[in-house]
Amino acid sequence: MSRSADTWILTAQCPSRLGTVDVVTRFLKERRCYITEQHSFDDRHGERFFIRTEFRPQDPDFDAQAFQAVFAPRAAAFEMVFELTAPEARTPVVIMVSKADHCLNDLLYRYRTGQLPIDIRAVVSNHPDLQSLADWHGLPYYHFPITPETKAEQEAQVWQVIEETGAELVILARYMQVLSSEMCERLAGRAINIHHSLLPGFKGAKPYHQAYEKGVKLVGATAHYINDDLDEGPIITQGVEPVSHADYPEDLVAKGRDVECLTLARAVAYHLERRVFLHAKRTVVFAK
């Protein structure tokens, strides 16, 4: 899921208009930048154009500020909003968890091995259970218990950690609390959640046990940006795993955990690599 260590990323979106690809590729050629990967999409219903380009500067003295300053007026002619991301960019992150450790463990492994270009600033939880795991990685751990009566106070504590750490992304790695409308609004477009996906849908306690009783043949997971609709934010990616009559509830739970880990990690990687564009209530995702 990682990209080349020496490539820059240029992402942009604008109204659908003739010449949108040309304005990007022509400029990169003029600036002696070699394109290594490119994706584009034109939404004919929304009349919106999206483009993501990875490139490698051919000149060793590549100046990012000069690049953006010269490209800005060309982009403005197309009402194009763009972003340039450096190869060494590491996104500051806060991870939120409850008691389940599988997604946190997976993220910490990918962080430790450099698979995810993140700078984990803190782990926040409504339970003390996973502090030893954070401690082992040398990460600050904040335990903020929550009750219906203290929800507003607890979220204020969480928000203070997010602000003080400068986190640009919040990962809900099986954080089993519903965020308030205010918190969802504050974190719009920069908080990713993961949850199980089962067809038919099973709500309430022990969804995998319910799925077993119905004899489901697939278990899955969905990673999405949070919004004010519970588990219904803009979807980034989904994963599935086949199961059979020979799988017992504990097998479904184990397979479900594996899918959750992989799906969440993929969604985080896509976000970090600027492969995801929020578009109304949907996403445009240039998967690798």
Phi and psi at residue 74, in whole multiples of 5°?
-70, -40
Name the token pair of 280: 């109304």
Is 122 within 8 Å of 128 (Cβ atoms)? Answer: no
Catalytic status, residue 59: no
Q: Which of 42, 101, 228, 231 is catalytic?
A: 231
d(CA 282, CA 142): 33
DSSP 223: E
Name the token pair of 196: 């199980």
Question: Cα angle vertex 226, ends 14, 134, to 5°?
Answer: 120
Q: Which long-range contacts (CB under 8 A, 24 or more apart) does 176-182 make?
A: 176/98, 176/99, 176/100, 176/126, 177/98, 177/126, 177/146, 178/230, 179/155, 179/226, 180/151, 180/152, 180/155, 181/228, 182/155
Phi and psi at residue 73, in whole multiples of 5°?
-65, -30
Give catalytic residue positions.
231
